[in-house]
């Protein structure tokens, strides 16, 4: 067998971004279509769903002779184990074989790899086999998509020992080996089969395996061979029916190997199966784990699934591979992981038994957060998770017990609400959307704490979420505060303490009032009335960092409260105990285990594409990127149930994606499940593209959330790094979908009243009724969005807030007034500009109009920006376009931010609508600060869709697929509209029990393409019948 050859070819994108940018008004569906090349990165395999040429070479010689080797040594590539290929029971395998099967179509939870097209030309007897796999065949260009089901068996227990006399054939090795245990039903108690969409291959980088605890079984005098009689034909066909069906089909064409010479080569001319093989002095049985010869000196680890002999007398085994951490997407960022830890996979392929080098002890353990390595037995390797390349997924190994047949809310959901901590919260875009989305899945998620160093952003969040504890401090200081708070809670959470009068010296800085009401203390001392707050840092700006408490002095006003170091309050034990107890009761700070969800977007200034001073070689060495480390340290300390991290796509681009790989590695190292996706905001009904990375994390006791599939077409602006193209959350090419048309600028802002460049009002009435579905949705009241009585049932239609633009000074305003009001207009339309054949602008040699200030009408930076090729300075948006990304400041000097028909930049409210903030959401601070808050926020429709997926996961209603379909009209329907469509409920408060009752009637297959709230016909009809909801 040939060892895998990693081919480096120039990546070909699914579609040419340049062509798309030339026609920005063209709405296209974002879909996943792996390029027809081997990625230069070893972690992104050649997707069999998109092979350029899937024709199988039929000119194979049927009289091929078996390889003879009298020694147990390995010479040449043909003796190397093949890199993990494809499981014949998986879709991807059948894709490459072009197997088109008769069968009954069944619904899929996620439509990512499904199709209604079912061309069939081959029958499979499903009654003889056990396991169900979904077969999908796709090609990139002029091919058909076929989806059906085929019953296959790949369970190692089903593959051996039945009907065989153990006393006759079983020869025990003197070396004990630990393998996964199997039940009498032929199912493993420690693993199951991976995501059906797995189509991965391991990379070329591997650690050299230590053999200190493993015996090398190969003896040069003993040629590897099978022992005992073959497994009876009827039993073999029951266990490996797919292989015999393949034999019957391919051997008629005189083809004995499928995809010969490739990493997923399949042997078709099987003659018989065996239960055991003798290699050297060792006996290998089905289900044993073994070291397998790799490239060079490498040894890979896998589990033996089959022993079979071909019609030409060659002996093969089928192996199911384990990944080491560096074999996964993590790559070099996994150096701090335990070298003994491997990851289960469903990747299998066929190899000559000469490749087996020795037995390996591989133990399955239950994943636990905080697991100490000392508690793991001294095995060669252990595994507790499964790895799949699609969406870089690390997850619990599925078992029969994990299959949910009805709504089973976990014990945690018995709580009134789930607590969320929003780190780097900004004005609250991520947490607001998560809570709104979770509500639609009948989960009451509440933002209990929020942390951000930007004071104005914190005030905006507090303005809209009055019950949230908002802290204005850095994440580093907040983490230190939490650690100190935990110690205080343990110290003072006692029944009684020694009572002492709390005094402090007047030298601390507090000023005594002239007419003090305190008479029982000596002069120069003040009495502590109570402690009112706590922080870590340097609130007095003295250069002394530490733990401080805010003291309210007896006889003084609150304005005279001071921050005091905790050491100076050593005599105030009673006040301290009272403060700690009240703080614990009111949850002013979270303790480990009290946070259900942590979300946040660590600042990305160090890697943002708009930062010209990035450290592209070593991003983690840049202090501006250290917040990803702090974020993961926070997760480690608080141990939440779920984690959601957001960041710019550049974390997957610079330094070979080391920041993204590091974040994923930290979660997995903490034994959290993880899944990474790239989401375009425009796919959820927004008029901006905005591509962002999202990383889910889930405690081992939970179900990892899925990513929501798009609801809208989108105008594509740019693409992610080719290496992570299969992490884009989208439909596969040619996959059936029902998407709404792309949302454009007109859909979002055409109803807003006209304002001038000089507008200063922070609120005004609406002048026009909503004109589009988006506008009706974005005008929803807080009660309509949340369905909660606490938000008021008699709430009036709010005024229009923050509809004022950034003021342009006279020179820029005069320039804007001369920009034509048509599509594509920009500074190039001004007099005095010449555009050359090379698309470079130059100043006219004689014509140079001036402004009243004496400055040129066309400023010099227009000619130098992007070497004179840019069209962005003083450019107008147009009604049928979208915005690439809403930034933090509407500069008309280098961005396309001019209103289509008014001489001004887009207003704060127009920016907020582009980010999906409801109109009731208000912002605090200066005009520039409000723009910045909105630009830094996570688009609310994206976080809302993720919140829906989180709600399903919290209630263990999601499936094993990485993607889930959102309810119809989800992106532009508020909570009350969705709930009324499902239940016909007209009461003010929607009873969440109705959701659970409906869930209990749903089958597992309904969570996805046929989800319980996803009856497209019912929801569409109901929605259109509501007043004002017809276009």
Question: pLDDT tens-digit profile of 647-693?
Answer: 999 999 888 899 999 999 999 999 999 999 999 999 999 999 999 99
pLDDT at 398: 77
Q: In what order do the strands lie in the sheet with 562-565?
A: 503-505, 525-537, 546-553, 562-565
- pLDDT of residue 67 exceeding 60: no
Closest by alpha carbon to 679, among 700, 652, 702?
652
For 746-774, the DSSP string reads HHHHTTSPP--TT---SEE---S---SHH
In Å, what is the CA distance from 768 to each residue of 436, 754, 771, 803? 27, 10, 8, 14
Q: What are phi and psi of 648, to 5 degrees?
A: -75, 160
Question: pLDDT tens-digit profile of 271-317?
Answer: 999 999 999 889 999 999 999 998 777 789 999 999 999 988 999 99
pLDDT at 366: 87
**CATH T-level topology, domain 417-473+592-610+618-739+946-981:** Rossmann fold (3.40.50)
Contacts of 780 (CB under 8 A, 6+ apart): 918, 920, 974
Two tokens, residue 812: 């820029």
Question: pLDDT tens-digit profile of 496-510?
Answer: 343 333 444 443 444
Mean pLDDT, to the nearest integer, of 571-594?
93
Q: What is the DSSP letter of 726?
A: G
Selected catalytic residue, list 217, 388, 535, 604: 604
pLDDT at 428: 97
pLDDT grade, residue 879 (50/70/90)?
very high
45 vs 234: CA distance, rounded Å: 36
Closest by alpha carbon to 258, among 85, 136, 113?
85
For 521-571, the DSSP string reads S-TTEEEEEEEEEEEEE-TT-SS--EEEEEEEETTS-GGG-EEEEGGGGTT
CATH architecture label of 225-254+265-363: Roll (2.30)
Two tokens, residue 346: 């469903």
pLDDT at 524: 60
pLDDT at 630: 96
Mean pLDDT, to the nearest integer, of 316-323?
95
pLDDT at 132: 32
Place of tokens 């009752």: 997
Q: Which of 430-439, 727-736, 744-753, 789-798 is predicted with the least confidence, judged by mean pLDDT? A: 789-798
- pLDDT of residue 74 exceeding 50: no
- Angle between helix 475-492 and 627-638 (nearest 10): 20
Q: 110 or 637: which carries more pLDDT confidence?
A: 637
Please give the share of the chain, as a percent, with pLDDT higher than 70: 65
18 vs 79: CA distance, rounded Å: 46
For 35-100, the DSSP string reads -SS--SSTTS---GGG-S--PPP----TTPPPP--SSS---SGGGSPPPP---TTSHHHHHHHT--
- pLDDT of residue 516 exceeding 70: no
Closest by alpha carbon to 418, among 429, 405, 409?
409
pLDDT grade, residue 367 (50/70/90)?
confident
Q: 546 or 366: which carries more pLDDT confidence?
A: 546
Q: Which of 254-263, 401-410, 910-919 is predicted with the least confidence, judged by mean pLDDT? A: 401-410
pLDDT at 522: 53
Q: Which of 86-95, 118-127, 435-444, 755-764 is predicted with the least confidence, judged by mean pLDDT? A: 118-127
866 vs 873: CA distance, rounded Å: 11
pLDDT at 371: 65
User: What does pTM read for this prediction?
Assistant: 0.76
Residue 112 · residue 393 · CB < 8 Å: no
- pLDDT of residue 731 exceeding 80: yes
pLDDT at 617: 62
pLDDT grade, residue 802 (50/70/90)?
very high
748 vs 422: CA distance, rounded Å: 28
pLDDT grade, residue 378 (50/70/90)?
confident
For 611-631, the DSSP string reads -TT---S-GGGSGGGTHHHHH
Mean pLDDT, to the nearest integer, of 873-881?
97
Please give the share of the chain, as a percent, with pLDDT higher than 90: 55
Domain with CATH 3.90.120.10 in the chain: 745-939
The number of beta carbons lying within 10 Å of the beta carbon of residue 977 is 22
pLDDT grade, residue 247 (50/70/90)?
confident
Domain with CATH 2.30.30.490 in the chain: 225-254+265-363
Two tokens, residue 134: 């979904």
8 vs 42: CA distance, rounded Å: 10
* Summary mean pLDDT of the chain: 75
Question: pLDDT tens-digit profile of 693-726?
Answer: 999 999 999 999 999 999 999 988 888 888 999 9
In Å, what is the CA distance from 267 to each residue of 74, 88, 264, 284? 21, 11, 10, 21
- pLDDT of residue 815 exceeding 50: yes
**Which CATH number does 745-939 carry?**
3.90.120.10
- Report the b/e string of 83-108 with b at 16+ CB within 10 A: bbbbbbbbbbbbbbbebbbebeeeeb
Query: Is 892 in the active site?
Result: no
Q: 37 or 320: which carries more pLDDT confidence?
A: 320
Instruction: Report CA Rg, the chain.
Output: 32
The number of beta carbons lying within 10 Å of the beta carbon of residue 862 is 24
């Amino acid at each position: 067998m040939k060892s895998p050859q990693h081919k480096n070819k120039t990546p070909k994108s699914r579609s040419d971004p340049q062509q798309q940018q030339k026609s920005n008004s063209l709405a296209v569906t974002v879909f996943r279509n792996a390029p027809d090349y081997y990625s230069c990165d070893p972690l992104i395999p050649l997707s069999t769903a998109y092979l350029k040429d899937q024709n199988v070479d039929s000119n194979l010689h049927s009289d091929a002779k078996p390889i003879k080797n009298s020694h147990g040594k390995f010479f040449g590539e043909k003796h190397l184990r093949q890199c993990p290929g494809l499981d014949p029971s998986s879709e991807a395998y059948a894709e490459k074989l072009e197997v088109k099967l008769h069968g009954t179509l069944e619904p899929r939870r996620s439509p990512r790899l499904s199709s209604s097209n079912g061309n069939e030309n081959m029958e499979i007897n499903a009654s003889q086999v056990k396991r169900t796999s979904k077969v999908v065949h796709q090609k990139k260009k002029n091919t058909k998509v076929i989806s059906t089901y085929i019953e296959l068996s790949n369970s190692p227990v089903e593959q051996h020992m039945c009907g065989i006399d153990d006393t006759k054939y079983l020869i025990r090795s003197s070396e004990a080996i630990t393998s996964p245990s199997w039940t009498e039903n032929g199912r493993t108690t420690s693993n199951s089969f991976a995501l059906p969409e797995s189509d991965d291959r391991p990379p070329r980088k591997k650690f050299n395996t230590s053999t200190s605890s493993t015996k090398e079984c190969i003896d040069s005098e003993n040629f590897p061979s099978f022992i005992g009689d073959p497994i009876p034909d009827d039993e073999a066909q029951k266990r490996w029916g797919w292989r015999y069906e393949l034999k019957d089909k391919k051997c008629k064409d005189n083809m004995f190997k499928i995809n010969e010479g490739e990493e997923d080569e399949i042997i078709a001319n099987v003659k018989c199966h065996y239960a055991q093989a003798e290699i050297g002095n060792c006996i290998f049985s089905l289900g044993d784990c073994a070291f397998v010869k790799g490239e060079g000196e490498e040894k890979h680890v896998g589990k033996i699934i089959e022993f079979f002999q071909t019609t030409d007398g060659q002996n093969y085994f089928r192996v199911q591979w384990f990944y080491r951490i560096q074999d996964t997407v993590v790559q070099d960022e996994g150096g701090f992981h335990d070298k003994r830890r491997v990851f289960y996979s469903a990747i299998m392929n066929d190899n000559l038994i000469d490749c087996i080098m020795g037995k390996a002890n591989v133990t399955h353990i239950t994943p636990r957060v905080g697991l100490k390595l000392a508690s793991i037995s001294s095995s060669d390797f252990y595994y507790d998770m499964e790895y799949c390349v699609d969406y870089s997924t690390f997850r619990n190994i599925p078992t029969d017990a994990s299959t949910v047949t009805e709504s089973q809310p976990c014990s945690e959901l018995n709580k009134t609400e789930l607590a969320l901590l929003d780190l780097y919260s900004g004005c609250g875009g991520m947490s607001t959307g998560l809570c709104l989305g979770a509500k639609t899945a009948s989960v009451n998620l509440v933002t209990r704490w929020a942390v951000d160093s930007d004071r104005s952003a914190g005030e905006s969040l507090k303005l809209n979420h009055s019950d949230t504890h908002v802290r204005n401090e850095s994440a580093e200081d907040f983490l230190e505060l939490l650690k100190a708070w935990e110690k205080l809670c343990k110290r003072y959470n006692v029944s009684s303490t020694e009572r002492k009068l709390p005094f402090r010296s007047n030298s601390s800085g507090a000023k005594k009032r002239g007419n003090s009401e305190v008479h029982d203390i000596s002069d120069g001392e003040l009495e502590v009335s109570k402690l009112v707050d706590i922080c870590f840092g340097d609130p007095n700006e003295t250069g002394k960092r530490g733990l401080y408490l805010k003291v309210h002095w007896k006889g003084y006003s609150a304005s005279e409260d001071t921050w005091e170091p905790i050491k100076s309050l050593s005599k105030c034990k009673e006040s301290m105990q009272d403060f700690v107890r009240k703080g614990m009761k009111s949850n002013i700070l979270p303790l480990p285990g009290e946070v259900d969800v942590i979300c946040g977007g660590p600042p990305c200034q160090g890697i943002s594409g708009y930062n010209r001073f990035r450290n592209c070689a070593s991003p983690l060495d840049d202090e501006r990127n250290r917040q990803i480390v702090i974020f993961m340290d926070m997760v480690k300390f608080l141990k939440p149930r779920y984690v959601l991290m957001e960041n710019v796509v550049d974390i997957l681009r610079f330094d070979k994606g080391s920041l993204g790989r590091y974040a994923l590695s930290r979660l997995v190292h903490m034994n959290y499940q993880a899944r990474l996706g790239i989401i375009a905001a425009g796919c959820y009904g927004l008029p901006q593209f905005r591509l962002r990375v999202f990383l889910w994390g889930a405690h081992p006791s939970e179900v990892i959330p899925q990513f929501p599939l798009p609801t809208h077409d989108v105008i594509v602006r740019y693409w992610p790094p080719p290496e992570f193209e299969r992490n884009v959350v989208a439909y596969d090419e040619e996959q059936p979908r029902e998407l709404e048309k792309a949302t454009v600028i007109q859909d979002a802002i055409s109803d807003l009243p006209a304002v001038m460049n000089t507008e200063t009002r922070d609120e005004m009435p609406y002048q026009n009724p909503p004109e589009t579905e988006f506008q009706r949705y974005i005008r929803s009241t807080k009660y309509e969005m949340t369905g909660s009585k606490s938000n008021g049932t008699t709430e009036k239609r709010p005024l229009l807030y923050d509809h004022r633009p950034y003021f342009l000074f006279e020179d820029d305003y005069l320039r804007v007034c001369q920009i034509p009001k048509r599509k594509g207009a920009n500074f190039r339309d001004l007099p005095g500009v010449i555009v050359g054949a090379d698309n470079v602008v130059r100043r006219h040699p004689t014509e140079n109009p001036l402004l009243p200030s004496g400055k040129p009408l066309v400023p010099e930076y227009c000619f130098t920006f992007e070497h004179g090729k840019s069209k962005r300075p003083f450019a107008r948006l147009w009604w049928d376009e979208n915005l690439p990304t809403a930034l933090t400041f509407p500069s008309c000097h280098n961005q396309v931010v001019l209103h289509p028909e008014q001489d001004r930049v887009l207003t704060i409210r127009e920016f907020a609508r582009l980010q999906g903030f409801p109109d009731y959401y208000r912002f605090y601070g200066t005009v520039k600060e409000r723009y910045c808050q909105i630009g830094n926020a996570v688009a609310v429709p994206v976080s809302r869709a993720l919140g829906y997926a989180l709600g399903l996961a919290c209630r263990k209603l999601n499936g094993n697929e990485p993607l889930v379909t959102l309810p119809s009209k989800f992106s532009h329907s508020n909570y009350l509209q969705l709930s009324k469509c499902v239940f016909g409920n007209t009461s003010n408060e929607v009873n969440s029990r109705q959701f659970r009752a409906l869930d209990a009637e749903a089958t597992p297959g309904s969570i996805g393409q046929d989800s319980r709230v996803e009856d497209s016909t019912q929801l569409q009809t109901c929605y259109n019948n509501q007043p004002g909801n017809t276009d």
